Amino acid sequence: MAAITGVMEDYLKAIYKLEQVHGIASTSDVAARLGVSAASATNMIKRLAHHRLVAHTPYRGFTLTPTGARIALETIRHHRLLELYLAQALGVRLDHVDREAERLEHVLSDEVEARIAATLGEPTRDPHGDPIPAKDGTVRDVHYPDLTQVPPGEAGVVDRVSDRRPDVLRRLAALGVLPGAAVCVLARLSGRRVRVELGGQELVLTHDLAEGVYVR
């Protein structure tokens, strides 16, 4: 097999995440997630299929092959370990760690990866609360409802916050809505807003903010 490039790893990672949500990926979904044109996504997916990293299902979409999934999970492990190291050891802001990890994940050696994991105590969660795949490729990913789905009167703990939009993550971090925080849903308001109690104070979260907070 030809050398796997960083761009190929980005595609495999995006396809893996789409599969976790939809069970299958489409070209349009991959293009939207990566911010590329449909034509670019189509060409890369054909290249991945040529290398037997993705398998196509006619009229439905495509999924990762076992080899493609292994590469995707390894890339995700690199990314999330780097995020945690940047946040904990270097004090990089939570809304910046994703961008920095994207730059480093493709060049991280196995030795440095092992040293980072050992230094952090073999962590299982990144700073956003997302699971870090184990070295053997296994991953324990439990899905919890977001705040827009939690009934008023229910309380829980923030399990993770979405890192899909840095602006949303920045606002959540400023409000203290981070993994480990105790939260109670008080009411649903007009405009799909949610009133919550967090740290002894009431907050009103817009729908964009609330749907990025997952509670157990």
Which of residues 49, 64, 79 is at a domain's end? 64
Q: Is the dihedral of CA 77, 78, 84, 88 positive or negative?
A: positive
Which of residues 33, 64, 95 is at a domain's end? 64
User: In the structure encoding, which two tokens stand for residue 146, read together?
Assistant: 């977001």
pLDDT digits (tens, 9 = 90+) for 90-127: 999 888 898 899 999 999 999 999 999 999 999 999 99
Kindly tell me the number of DSSP H helices and DSSP E strands found in the chain: 8, 7
pLDDT in tens, 135-158: 998 988 788 999 999 999 999 999
- Return the residue matching tokens 């229910």: 154
Confidence band, pLDDT 50/70/90 cuts, at residue 2: low
pLDDT tens readout for residues 165-179 = 778 888 898 898 989
CATH code of 162's domain: 2.30.30.90
44 confidence band (pLDDT: 50, 70, 90):
very high
Domain residue limits at 190: 155-215
For position 22, which CATH number holds?
Answer: 1.10.10.10
**150 domain-assigned:** no
Give the DSSP letter string of 124-154: SB-TTSPBPPPTTS--------BTTTSPTT-
State the Cα–Cα distance between residues 214 and 216, nearest whole angstrom.
7
Q: How many domains does the chain have?
A: 2
User: Does residue 107 sit within a domain?
Assistant: no
Q: In 3D, which of 149, 196, 145 has the Cα closest to residue 175?
A: 196
Q: Is residue 197 part of a domain?
A: yes
Q: For residues 208 and 172, is the Cβ–Cβ distance under 8 A?
A: no
CA pair distance 41, 135, nearest whole angstrom: 29
- Report if residue 88 sits inside a domain: no
